[in-house]
Amino acid sequence: MDLFNVLTLTEITKRLEDTFISSLLPTETLPLNQALGRILADDLTAAEDVPHFSRSVVDGYAVRAKDTFGASESIPGFLSVVGAVEMGHPAAHAVRAGEAVYVPTGGALPEGADAVVMIEYTEPFGAGQIAVHRPSAPLENVMSKGDDITVGETVLRGGTRLRPQELGVLSALGVNSVTVFAPLQVSVLSTGDEIVPIHEKPAAGQIRDINSYTITGLVEAAGGRVRRASLVKDDFDALKAAVAEAITDSDLVLLSGGSSVGEKDYTQRVIQAFEDSEILAHGLAIKPGKPTVVARIGRVSVFGLPGQPASAMMIFKAVVEPLLQKLTGANALPMVSQATTNQEAALSPSLSTRSVLAAASSKIHAAPGRTTFQMVALEMRSGELFAVPVHGKSGMISLMSRADGYIQIEPAQEGILQNQTVQVILF
C-alpha cells in the first residue's frame, strides 16, 4: 500500500505534542456533585485540618495513658467513670488523674485524655468504676486533629481526574465547588457508502454503523464530549461539508474510513482543501492501523481512522486518547513501576492508562519495523494470570468484546515468547 509521510508511534506522539499541546482548554467551575470524572485545573490545598478535632477510633474509655501503665488481667487498674461523650457534640467532661470518660467510635476526645482503652479490655467494677486489664500507650486508638489532612497541605494536584474517592476528600474539607478543565469537544464522522444506521436491516454489501458508537464510547470514557456522531457517504463534497461544520465547534474531529489511498478515500484530500491545514502523517508504522491520517485544520486536530472497528479502536487508544488526556490537563495514570522485560521498558510514555503484568500464554509474532498492538484476554490459570492473544480474521468485530486489553510490542522486537512476562494495557 502506497502511503505518504509514514511516522512511527514515537514520531507522531512528538509531532502531536509540538502541534497541539501549546495551550490547554478553558476552565469552568462546577458544584462538587457535578464534578465526577472531570479534570482538576489547579492544585487544591486544605483550608482546615481533617479531622478538625481529636477523636476516638474505637468504642471505649478516654483515659490518661499513664493511669493505665502496669494494668494487666491479674492486676487491673481502676478508674472512675465521670461521664460519656455524645456523638456529634464536644466532650462535656475533662479527664483528670484516675478518671475515664466513655467515648464511642468517632466521638470527640475529652480534654486531658491522650488515649482510649477499647471497651473489650475493661469491665464494670462497682458503682461508677471500671477495671482496666491492659495498659494503653499515648495516642493509642486516637486520631488526632490533622492526622488525616493538615491545613495548608496540597491535597490534590491539578490534572487529577476526580473519582468518587476524591469527591469524598473534598467534601470532608467543605469544598462545595471546584475549577475543572472544560471537556474536549469532539465530532465523530463515520464514512462509507456501505454504512447504514443501526436500526436498518443491511442489504448484501452493507454493514451497520459500528464506529460511531465505538468511537463515541471511547471519547466519553476518556473524558471528552461528543457534539455529533454522523454518517457521511463517500462523496468529496458531502465529507467536506461535514468537516466544515465539525471544525466550527469541535477541538477534535475523528473520521473513520476513507483514510487509505483508494479512489473513494477522500479524507486526506478533504483536509487539504481547507486553508491553514497540514497533514502531519499519512500512515503510521503501527499494526493494526497503518492507514491513518493525522492532521490539523487551523487549531483543530483531525484524525482519519481506519474503517476496521478493531483497528480504529487501537489507533484511538494508542494515539488519540493520550492527546485528549494531555489537552485536558490530565495527569498520566500510574503504570506498573518495575520493568522486568525489554517490552515493558520500551512502552511508549504516551500510553497513560492502567496495566497489569501477565504471562504470555503462547508465542506472539510482531510486524517487523512496526509497533504491534496485540489484543489479549486475561485468564487465571492455576493461580497465575495469563495474557491470551485474541485472534481473528480482518474486520471481525467480536475481537473487541473478547479482549481485556492489549500488549505493545516495539519495532525492534521480533515478538513475545511463551510464558514471557508482559505488560497488558487495560481497555
Q: Is residue 118 part of a domain?
A: yes
The mean pLDDT of 219-232, rounded to a whole number, is 92
Residues 216 and 248 in one domain: yes
The pLDDT score that the predictor gives to residue 403 is 92
Dist. CA 388–CA 406, nearest whole Å: 10
- Phi and psi for 143 in degrees, rounded to 5? -105, 110
Residues 271 and 304 in one domain: yes
Q: Is residue 389 part of a domain?
A: yes
Q: What is the CATH number of the domain that holds 37?
A: 3.90.105.10
Q: What is the CATH number of the domain that holds 269?
A: 3.40.980.10
Set of cell numbers at residue 223? 473524558
Q: What is the CATH number of the domain that holds 129?
A: 2.170.190.11
Distance set, CA 219 to CA 158, 178, 423 (Å): 21, 23, 24
The mean pLDDT of 315-343, rounded to a whole number, is 67
The pLDDT score that the predictor gives to residue 3 is 54
CB distance 255 to 267 below 8 Å: yes
The pLDDT score that the predictor gives to residue 66 is 97
Sheet with strand 122-124: strands edge to edge = 115-118, 60-63, 99-103, 77-84, 129-132, 122-124
The pLDDT score that the predictor gives to residue 244 is 97
Residue type, 186: V
Q: Is residue 1 part of a domain?
A: no
Set of cell numbers at residue 198? 443501526
Q: For the chain, what percent of residues have pLDDT higher than 90?
A: 73
Residues 205 and 289 in one domain: yes
Residues 230 and 174 in one domain: no
Q: Is residue 102 part of a domain?
A: yes
Separation of CA 354 from chain center: 7
What dihedral angle (degrees, nearest 10) is formed by the CA atoms of 24, 351, 377, 427?
-10
The pLDDT-based confidence of 257 (bands split at 50, 70, 90) is confident
Look-up of cell digits 490545598? 45
What's the N-to-C CA distance of the chain in angstroms?
29
* Strands 364-365, 415-416: pairing kind: antiparallel
Average confidence score pLDDT of the chain? 89
- Phi and psi for 14 in degrees, rounded to 5? -65, -40
Set of cell numbers at residue 69? 501503665
Query: Other CB atoms closer than 10 Å to residue 224's CB: what's the count?
Result: 25
Dist. CA 311–CA 131, nearest whole Å: 72
pLDDT at 333 > cutoff 70: no
The pLDDT-based confidence of 328 (bands split at 50, 70, 90) is confident
Q: How many domains does the chain have?
A: 4
The pLDDT score that the predictor gives to residue 23 is 63
Residues 218 and 310 in one domain: yes
The predicted-structure confidence for 383-425, as pLDDT tens digits, reads as follows 999 999 998 776 778 888 899 999 999 998 889 999 999 999 9
User: What domain range includes position 36?
Assistant: 28-47+157-181
Separation of CA 318 from chain center: 15
The pLDDT score that the predictor gives to residue 97 is 97
The predicted-structure confidence for 346-369, as pLDDT tens digits, reads as follows 443 344 568 999 999 999 999 888
The predicted-structure confidence for 260-310, as pLDDT tens digits, reads as follows 666 667 889 999 999 999 999 999 999 998 889 999 999 999 999 998 888
Residues 311 and 295 in one domain: yes
Residues 80 and 105 in one domain: yes
Instruction: Identify the top-confidence range among 22-36, 75-89, 337-351.
Output: 75-89
The verdict on pTM exceeding 0.95 is: no
The pLDDT score that the predictor gives to residue 343 is 43
Residues 245 and 278 in one domain: yes
Q: What is the CATH number of the domain that holds 363?
A: 2.40.340.10
The mean pLDDT of 129-136, rounded to a whole number, is 97
The predicted-structure confidence for 133-168, as pLDDT tens digits, reads as follows 999 999 999 999 999 999 999 999 998 999 999 999
Q: Is residue 60 part of a domain?
A: yes
